[in-house]
Amino acid sequence: MLLRRWMLFSFVLAASLARAEIALPSVWSDHAVLQRNAPIHLWGWARPGARLTLRFHAQTAEAVVDEAGEWSAWFKPEAAGGPYALKIEGDGSLSRADLLVGDVWLASGQSNMEFPLRGFGGAPLNHGAQEIAAATVPRLRLLQVPRVGAVTPQEDVKASWTACTPATAENFSAVAYFFGRAIAEKEDVPVGLINASWGGTLADAWISLNTLSSNPALLPVFAARAQFAAGESRRQRLAVIERVQDEALRAAGKPVPLHEWKPDQVSWTPAALYNGMIAPLTPYSIKGFLWYQGETNSLADRYRNYATLFPALIEDWRARFAQGDLPFVYAQISSFDAPGEHWGVIRDAQRRALKLRATAMAVTLDVGEEHNVHPADKQTVAARMALAARGLAYGEKIEYVSPALRQATGESGALRLWFDHAAGLHASGALQHFEVAGIDGHFVAAEARIEKLADGETVMVSAPTVAAPVYARYAWANDAKGSLVNGAGLPAGTFTTEVEPRE
């Protein structure tokens, strides 16, 4: 029986390939943006052995379809411009229209990146209606990747590029949109934004199995997954009971209570979102990455591994896209009152990832909301990410880095903290959220003052109950907004002087 089924499958597959038409992945749809000043990669499927001729702008390329029905071709780099058309001929023909050449940024992460211009229920965007009404931006193109998890890397996504209009932008990532709008205006080029984000997801799900399985330090990812899977049956039963109770309340005309958020099996599976939402994009030439994630990894069974996991994700994506050290611009997660979680540890881990080349971090502490995990001010977050991209990816001579801890030196009963990117260091309001600890690692609130020395800007920290401070940290509490700012108006993010955080 199995042999007969295999023979039938083989026959159907062979017949399908024999009559296969030329096909392109969805990322090569009408209205696409192609990366300027970089080799332009095309790939797709057709009848094995077919010879294809591809024409784009003033270029021509050839491709031969291999025995698996796959083909690949390249065009030389193009300057920004368009609209252009693509025509492919061989066994049949295929065309794409209204293609622009500019810069392509891939945005990903969890709900604060997914957060659309129309906002979430109960969590609106600042000036959302006005922003949507003004969202006709001809130089912007949007590609929304649907939420899909998979056990193996996929070849395609069900999506297509659209022009940026109020109708298409209102459901698109607000952070990505504001970022792209700023870059398009500053660079005067078309910008393509690919949004592949999913609220409530773990970084674990966005990394390839190749990387997760090659680093012993990432094994805790699989241990946490096993623990999560063990409780899935109970979660499913509780969900069914909740739905029945909710329906009964609705039928009786009574209010339905809000329930605690419950994670999704697929979105919490290691590598599942990389397989379904990132892998299909990896052959496409891009300018860089935008990332806003980390809140879910702050949970008690996850937070300790983020300092290893996050840099591994950055290196993983660069390796899979195989386009060198693509700029990676990310938001340090904000401030939020989340009892039992460890946002300070996550923010510090994100700071430490700056040791990787071609990375930049936008600090968001000051725009957080104590009781709203989805802050309304996405404009400031995007503006700081765009500023970082202008300095990192576009080479502008601007200050785009927040005050960055360089070192701590001991003085009589105090610690002096030295900073880079600290010209004009000052406090926006009361200078607070500093802590110090002795050799025992027990942190207490510290007094702080800014001192400008010939060698740079510093902060002196001390506490009456710590005679000999050894460690200092800043904005460590989940909901600490911070107040230390440089002359460029960029706030300092969470940090600790410990080699490894104890909490």
- Say if residue 371's pLDDT is above 60: yes
How large is the greatest C-alpha to C-alpha distance in the chain, in angstroms? 84
Residue 260 has what pLDDT? 64
SS3 content of the chain, % helix, strand, coil (to 5): 30, 30, 40
Q: Which of 289, 266, 256, 258 is nearest to 105 (CA)?
A: 289
191: closest CA among 278, 302, 107, 90?
A: 107
**Do the domains at 99-400 and 404-496 have one common CATH topology?**
no
What's the rounded Cα separation, in Å, for the pair 218 and 229? 18
The reported pLDDT for the residue numbered 236 is 65
The dotted CATH code for 99-400 is: 3.40.50.1110
The residue to which tokens 């049956």 are assigned = 233
Between 236 and 286, whose confidence is greater?
286
- Band of residue 374 on the pLDDT scale cut at 50, 70, 90: very high
Mean pLDDT score across all residues of the chain: 93
State the burial class of residue 7 (Cβ atoms within 10 Å of its Cβ: 0-12, 13-18, 19+). exposed
User: What does the domain layout of the chain look like in residue ranges?
Assistant: 99-400, 404-496
Mean pLDDT of 218-226: 87
The rounded percent of the chain whose pLDDT value lies above 70 is 94
pLDDT in tens, 290-313: 999 999 999 988 999 999 999 999
Q: Which CATH class is domain 404-496?
A: mainly beta
Please tell me the number of Cα atoms within 13 Å of 416 on its side-chain side: 12
Q: How do residues 414-452 score in pLDDT, each as one tens digit?
A: 999 999 999 999 999 889 999 999 999 999 999 999 999
Mean pLDDT over 89-98 rounds to 95
The confidence score (pLDDT) of residue 241 equals: 79
The per-residue pLDDT for 16 is 43
Say whether pLDDT at 240 is over 50.
yes
pLDDT bin (cut points 50, 70, 90) of residue 1 is: very low
pLDDT digits (tens, 9 = 90+) for 28-58: 999 999 999 999 999 999 999 999 999 999 9
Residue 340 is encoded by which pair of tokens? 């039992």
| pLDDT beyond 80 at 264 | no
Residue 59 has pLDDT above 70, yes or no: yes
Average pLDDT over residues 134-159: 97
**Separation CA 444–CA 183 (nearest Å):** 43
> At 55, which amino acid appears?
R
Per cent of the chain over pLDDT 90 is 83
Asked whether residue 8 carries a pLDDT value surpassing 70, the answer given is no
For the entire predicted model, the pTM comes to 0.92
- The pLDDT value recorded for residue 500 is 86
226: confidence class by pLDDT, cuts 50, 70, 90: confident
456 three-class SS: strand
Going across the sheet that includes 456-462, the strands are 404-411, 414-420, 456-462, 447-453
